[in-house]
Amino acid sequence: MKRAEYRTKTDSLTMARRTMHSEMHALAKEVSEYCGEPKLFAQYLGRIKAIGLPDAYRAFSDLKDGVNRHVVKESAKWWMWRTKDLQGKKTVA
């Protein structure tokens, strides 16, 4: 059997992490794909850099929670609205 047949989900996750430059890049990719806008990766990355990682993770968690509770209907718009007030106020981790 070929090696490719033995790959697991964790193999693909580590491959994705290797192709990203930093944790910010990985989060931007995850958020942009979650919102259904993978072509706007740079926009999400810029917003994450502006607000900092801790606030970005918090906003992404709130987004996923809101979608699960059916409160958030348009995830991309909600993400931008939620993070616009945080710009310029980086939280130091």
Would you say the C-alpha torsion 24, 25, 31, 35 has a positive or negative sign?
Answer: positive
Residue 21 falls within a domain, yes or no? yes
Contact in structure between 83 and 47 (CB atoms under 8 Å): yes
Residue 33 falls within a domain, yes or no? yes
> Taking the CB of residue 32, how many other CB atoms lie within 10 A of it?
20
Terminal Cα distance for the chain, rounded = 46
**What does each of the 93 residues of the chain score in pLDDT, given as a tens digit?**
455 555 555 555 565 556 667 889 999 999 999 999 989 999 999 999 999 999 999 999 988 888 777 777 888 888 888 888 877 666 555
Range of the domain at 48: 3-84
pLDDT for the residue 46:
92
| Tally of structural domains, the chain | 1
Tell me, yes or no, if the pTM score tops 0.85.
Answer: no
Residue 72 falls within a domain, yes or no? yes
Residue 30 falls within a domain, yes or no? yes
Contact in structure between 52 and 93 (CB atoms under 8 Å): yes
Residue 28 falls within a domain, yes or no? yes
Would you say the C-alpha torsion 74, 32, 57, 65 has a positive or negative sign?
Answer: positive
